[in-house]
Structure 1
Amino acid sequence: MLIDKLYRFAIDRINGRFVRGWCFYRLAKRRPVLLRLVADDTEIGSVLCRDYRPDLQRSGLHPTGCCGFDCSFPDGFDPLQYRRLSIQVDGHSRPLLSFACRDLELLRPSLTRPIFFMHLPKTAGSSFNAFARRCFSASCLAFHVERLPPEERGRLAGSAQFLSGHLPWRQALGMLPPQRWQYLALLREPRAHLHSHLNYVRRVAADERLEVHYDFHHNRTIKELSRWLGAIDLTDDDQLRDFVTGLSGYQRDFFDNMQTRYFLDYRPERVTQSDLEQAVATMQRFHQIGLTESYDRFRDRFCRDLGLPPQPQSVQANRAQHYRLFDPARTVTWEILDPLIRFDLQLYEYAASHLAADDAEAPAGTKNKTVTTSATTQRSGESAVS
């Protein structure tokens, strides 16, 4: 058919909440395509295909990659009230694709209190945000609330069902009182987390040219930090040691036991044993804390708490390109980096044993065990890097 010859397209994900994919006009690839979403004879939305898709640009399929789309359906859209959902190119009556509405998944969670997901960077939080989007309508959830002005955060705090953001405990506490909100978080094995986070920060300056596609710009401080970090050879023990000992001010917020810092209601200059104990006390106020390495278990409990059946999901959202910054099997490397993850290791160890106690339906008293100060056994090999 002619429309198939003129347009190239694909659907990445569709359910009763949103549709995501890409489409472009073969004869003018740089001209964004307007798509219409039609349920039976009723138009329920439209979207311009101009989102940046680096995968399509890297593969050579599209010259700029700016042909993606992501469209949420109206809050009142119920697939069971319609027969078919069609995706049409504006100006063409024949649809590109058509779906039986009865096949569109629509999750209906049972919520007792709104949820705040404290999104620690590089812990599979973007994957969890993508999953939450399947559960809540677009008007009831928001991600990256740290980027919003205070008045917008306040409005969402009074109306949303699910919020997520890189807001540590000390910043979220006043806006989202735990008496009214359920707090969730994911922790990641600290060695893998540090390597991934170093990779991310190093790429900020190099990827500055791509920010125009994402409607978000890192501030100058982070870009300067990225350039400074990019000039350090982390395979050189002397430079690595100077990096660890030379951190000061805001640099420590990024690299000194970052996961522990997220659970504090104050900002320490350096994380200490007493800060760790305070972080553990804060964890007791969370409804659920999961581990990136056991992401499926975290997601399945989330579903169970909301009265939903278990849901499959591929954990891949925001998976950035990574580089091997140093040899993760070298003992001396982790000896040098130990001050940056010492308390995160103990926090992670506590969370892992806490979750194990939950799985075994241990008595409630075991949830308040004292945090040990022994070092976690070092993992070796590539498992520390992702």
Structure 2
Amino acid sequence: MASRIATLRSWFEKRAPTQDYPVYFQHIPKTAGSSVKVWLRSHYGDHLCPADLADHLVLIPAEKRASYQAFAGHFHCYLGPYLGREFVTVTVLREPLARTRSHWHHVRRAHDHPYHLRVIGQSFNDFVMDDLNRVMIEDYQARYLIKLPLSLAVMATRFSEADHVLFALAEALEQTSLPLLKPELRSGARIVLKGMAVVGVTERLHDFLTRVAEVAGIPPPTAAAVPRANVTEQDDAEELSEEAPRRLRDLTRIDQELYDAAI
């Protein structure tokens, strides 16, 4: 694993020159992305696409989508092909245990989340051990990064506006990547990261935003000005059982490799 991490680090440090394309913050849930979006909006204003999910994006008229200069949302790798545009793409990774805890907190407090009614009654230990929650845990970041041979436009036709209210398209995108074999997932995620302009980590958000500002040609934030949006409440998760940490490590091995290479 050490050699894989070293190779990834060399990729992260050798970025290609930035092209004059719109910025796409490929937002992996629960990685401080809401804070990044607040900062982007402070510069782009109404020229930042307001959509957060694919279900929101596909409901925006095509001519309006074409007018935005920046995007920040959970669109996986399918935004460029869907819009027929090229982007300067950036993302943030987070330590897998911390990201998973934050995801558990989010689902419990988000009444409109598809899994809220089940998860609200689960401790963090229960959440990790419940196989129904694998879609929200298992190499979740790598699965958000990988680009599969699917069309967002075609997938969107399968759902009605009522389905989009329930985030059906977003859920389908997450489910599609779950059966992937691990070698394919690892390789695919690494390829996508290699092509990104900036890869940061949640714990060094100011450094990430400074680098994004450089490639986007906008003023960098001061350390004091880095926003803190949608921050998870004080962690009240109980100690995990002996089995749960092992399960969590097994489920997030690729995410851990990617994160270790980025820090």
Assess same fold via TM > 0.5.
yes
Q: Measured at CA, do residues 191 and 234 of structure 1 come closer, stay the same or move farther in structure 2, by a change above 3 Å?
A: closer
> What amino acid is the match of 1:316?
R
Partners of 2:41 and 2:48 within 8 A in 1: no
- Alpha-carbon displacement from aligned partner over 1:197-248 (angstroms, at most 9, x marks no partner): 111112223xxxxxxxxxxxx3xxx34x22212333444xxx56741xx23x
Alpha-carbon distance in 2 for matches of 1:318, 1:193? 13
Q: Which structure is higher in RCO with an 8 Å CA cutoff and minimum separation 6? A: 2
Alpha-carbon distance in 2 for matches of 1:233, 1:196? 13
Partners of 2:26 and 2:90 within 8 A in 1: yes
Alignment correspondent of 1:192: 98
Counterpart check, 1:275 vs 2:185: yes
Partners of 1:186 and 1:289 within 8 A in 2: yes
Alignment correspondent of 2:118: 228
Alpha-carbon distance in 2 for matches of 1:240, 1:112? 43
Partners of 1:120 and 1:166 within 8 A in 2: yes
> What amino acid is the match of 2:81?
G
Counterpart check, 1:336 vs 2:247: yes
> What amino acid is the match of 1:231?
G
- Of residues 207, 210, 213 in structure 2, which corresponds to 1:303? 213
Counterpart check, 1:327 vs 2:239: yes
Alignment correspondent of 1:117: 25
Structure 2: gaps of 5 or more residues: 1-18, 149-175
> What amino acid is the match of 2:186?
L
> What amino acid is the match of 1:228?
R
- Of residues 46, 51, 54 in structure 2, which corresponds to 1:138? 46
- Alpha-carbon displacement from aligned partner over 1:28-82 (angstroms, at most 9, x marks no partner): xxxxxxxxxxxxxxxxxxxxxxxxxxxxxxxxxxxxxxxxxxxxxxxxxxxxxxx
- Of residues 150, 169, 175 in structure 1, which corresponds to 2:82? 175
Partners of 1:253 and 1:261 within 8 A in 2: no
Q: 1:101-116 residue pairs with structure 2 within 5 A?
A: 112-116=20-24
- Of residues 231, 240, 253 in structure 1, which corresponds to 2:135? 253
Q: CA deviation at 1:263?
A: 1.0
- Of residues 60, 73, 78 in structure 2, which corresponds to 1:165? 73
Alpha-carbon distance in 1 for matches of 2:226, 2:42? 13
Partners of 2:101 and 2:124 within 8 A in 1: no
Q: Measured at CA, do residues 298 and 177 of structure 1 come closer, stay the same or move farther in structure 2, by a change above 3 Å?
A: farther
> What amino acid is the match of 1:197?
H
Counterpart check, 1:150 vs 2:61: no
Structure 2 length normalisation: TM-score?
0.72
> What amino acid is the match of 1:315?
P
By percentage of residues, which structure has more helix?
2
SS at match of 2:205: helix
Counterpart check, 1:203 vs 2:114: no
Q: CA deviation at 1:336?
A: 2.6
Alignment correspondent of 1:263: 145
Partners of 1:141 and 1:160 within 8 A in 2: yes
RMSD, aligned CA: 2.7
SS at match of 2:105: helix
Partners of 1:263 and 1:279 within 8 A in 2: yes
By percentage of residues, which structure has more strand?
1
- Alpha-carbon displacement from aligned partner over 1:76-131 (angstroms, at most 9, x marks no partner): xxxxxxxxxxxxxxxxxxxxxxxxxxxxxxxxxxx821111111111111111111
The number of residues matched between the two structures is 216
Which range moved further: 123-132 or 315-324?
315-324
Q: CA deviation at 1:306?
A: 3.3
> What amino acid is the match of 1:165?
G
Alpha-carbon distance in 2 for matches of 1:226, 1:140? 29
| Percentage identity across paired residues of the two chains | 23
Alpha-carbon distance in 2 for matches of 1:322, 1:153? 40
Alpha-carbon distance in 1 for matches of 2:207, 2:121? 39
SS at match of 1:185: strand
Structure with bigger gyration radius: 1
Alpha-carbon distance in 2 for matches of 1:127, 1:149? 20
> What amino acid is the match of 2:212?
F
Alpha-carbon distance in 2 for matches of 1:263, 1:232? 28
